[in-house]
């Protein structure tokens, strides 16, 4: 194949990111990878504020793209295409990144690829040297998403289950907000949980032992709020115990749901499986440890991509764009920004039918 060099742009949530990636016979090579985080902008509100995010993307994107091009030692003329996240995400931010991608595409006469952010996450385990080979079972757990996806090949994704209410990262963030721990909440809850008693609060485990592999966290979140209201004034130990009890409930839920997802995955693939965790919550050591044990139990390989590619980044967007372009797909300048865009639908746009012969294809 002809090597493809792609600029990726990611602005769908609270990271302004740009990366340059080359895809050749040997696989993807990340030539530069720049992420400008916005945590400081959102910390006073203890959550991502869409309008503030969009403005911060406007302010930071040009410099981020310039830095990514400079780090890769390239000019726009060296590119084979520009890939920008077109959704799903916070629409203001998505529009900023997609418009920048369209402008570069138009000015430089390079193909534009509108990328589904979830496809970026789905393919991100392949960014690392010796990264995941198809097929694999992906648990995507972030601030905005919580789902199991069978990643069978480029453009061939099957969602096995997803949250019916909150995303897991959102639940971590809401608990941290309730306890006034800091933002983003996940790392604070994880740290506090280390000094807490996981048995002190009897919290619910929604959907436990039910069929399928959907998630639900709203009831758990509400139960935490009730405990906080009952306690009134909270000591540091109260907070640690609540965090530990919350995390214990989360681990039970993840264990139960992952077992079902692996069963569903096995039914289709039979052979030795691979379990991959991605998204910001996959940074949680207790969750990683549990997933690793579950995988070992079922003779699966467990793959946790480097943390920088677990959270939002543009290298994964460049990879998804490069893979699309390699298959001959690009988009025109009317391609819309979409706040909602299910991955299965994005896959259907790329390749309507899956060829079973590609099962187990090498990375």
Q: Give residues in contact with ligand KG4 (CB under 6 A).
A: 13, 142-144, 169, 172-173, 184-187, 190, 279-281, 283-284, 311-312
Q: Which does 116 bind (CB under 5 to 8 A by kind): ligand KG4, Zn ion, none?
A: none
Residue written as token pair 């789902």: 147
Site string for Zn ion, 141-160 (x = CB under 5 A): -x------------------
DSSP, residue by residue, 281-339 = GGG-HHHHHHHHHHHHHTT-EEE---HHHHSS-SHHHHHHHHHHHHTT--B-TTPPP-S
- Least Å distance, CB 145 to ligand KG4, is 7
CB 11 within 8 A of CB 36: no
Q: In the bound complex, what is the minimum distance in angstroms from residue 85's beta carbon to Zn ion?
A: 9
Among 344, 356, 350, residue whose Cα is nearest residue 147? 344
* 79/90 with CB nearer ligand KG4: 90
Residue 203 Cβ vs ligand KG4, minimum distance, rounded to whole Å: 16
Count of chain residues binding Zn ion (CB under 5 A): 2
Q: How far apart are CA 303 and CA 305, in angstroms?
A: 6
Burial label for 355, CB within 10 Å (0-12, 13-18, 19+), is: exposed
Phi, psi of 337 (to 5 degrees): -85, 135
Angle made by CA atoms 55, 58, 64, in degrees to the nearest 5:
130
Would strands 274-278 and 136-141 be described as parallel, antiparallel, or unpaired? Answer: parallel
In the complex, what is the shortest distance from the CB of residue 187 to ligand KG4, in angstroms, rounded to a whole number? 4
* Binding track, positions 297-336, relative to Zn ion; x by CB under 5 A: ---------------x------------------------
Choose the contact partner of 190 out of ligand KG4, Zn ion, none; CB within 5 to 8 A by kind.
ligand KG4
Pick one of ligand KG4, Zn ion, none as the site partner of residue 215 (Cβ within 5 to 8 A by kind). Answer: none
Which stretch of DSSP H or E encloses residue 16? strand 15-24
Q: How far is the CB of 276 from Zn ion (least distance, A)?
A: 15
Which of ligand KG4, Zn ion, none binds 284 (CB below 5-8 Å, type-dependent)? ligand KG4
- The partner in contact with residue 152, picked from Zn ion, ligand KG4, none with C-beta cut-offs of 5 to 8 angstroms by kind, is none
Report the residue number, 111 or 143, with the smaller CB distance to Zn ion: 143
Residue 142 CB, shortest distance to Zn ion, in Å, is 5
Contact residues toward Zn ion (CB under 5 A) are 142, 312
């Amino acid at each position: 194949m002809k090597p493809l060099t792609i600029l990726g742009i990611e602005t769908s949530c609270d990271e302004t990111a740009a990366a340059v990636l080359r895809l050749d016979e040997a696989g993807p090579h990340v030539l530069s990878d720049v992420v400008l985080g916005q945590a400081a902008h959102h910390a006073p509100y203890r959550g991502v504020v869409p309008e503030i995010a969009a403005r911060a993307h406007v302010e930071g994107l040009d410099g981020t793209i310039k830095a990514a091009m400079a780090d890769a030692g390239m000019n726009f003329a060296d590119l084979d295409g520009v890939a920008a996240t077109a959704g799903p995400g916070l629409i203001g931010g998505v529009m900023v990144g997609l418009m920048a991608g369209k402008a570069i595409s138009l000015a430089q006469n390079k193909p534009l690829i509108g990328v589904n952010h979830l496809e970026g996450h789905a393919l991100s385990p392949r960014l690392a040297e010796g990264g995941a080979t198809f097929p694999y079972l992906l648990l995507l757990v972030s601030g905005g998403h919580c789902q199991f996806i069978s990643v069978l090949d480029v453009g061939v994704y099957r969602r096995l289950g997803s949250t019916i209410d909150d995303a897991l990262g959102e639940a971590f963030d809401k608990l941290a907000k309730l306890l006034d721990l800091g933002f983003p909440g996940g790392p604070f809850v994880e740290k506090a949980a280390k000094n807490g008693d996981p048995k002190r609060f009897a919290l619910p485990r929604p959907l436990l032992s039910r069929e399928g592999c959907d998630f639900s966290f709203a009831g758990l979140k509400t139960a935490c709020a009730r405990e906080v209201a009952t306690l009134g004034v909270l000591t540091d130990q109260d907070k640690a115990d609540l965090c530990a009890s919350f995390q214990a409930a989360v681990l039970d839920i993840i264990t139960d749901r992952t077992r079902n997802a692996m069963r569903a995955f096995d039914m289709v693939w039979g052979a030795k499986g691979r379990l991959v965790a991605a998204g910001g919550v996959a940074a949680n050591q207790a969750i990683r440890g549990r997933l690793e044990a579950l995988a070992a139990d079922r003779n699966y390989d467990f793959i946790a991509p480097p943390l920088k590619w677990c959270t939002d980044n543009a290298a994964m967007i460049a990879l998804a764009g490069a893979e699309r372009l390699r298959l001959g797909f690009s988009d025109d300048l009317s391609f819309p920004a979409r706040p909602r865009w299910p991955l299965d639908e994005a896959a259907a746009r790329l390749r309507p039918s899956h060829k079973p012969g590609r099962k187990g294809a090498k990375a």
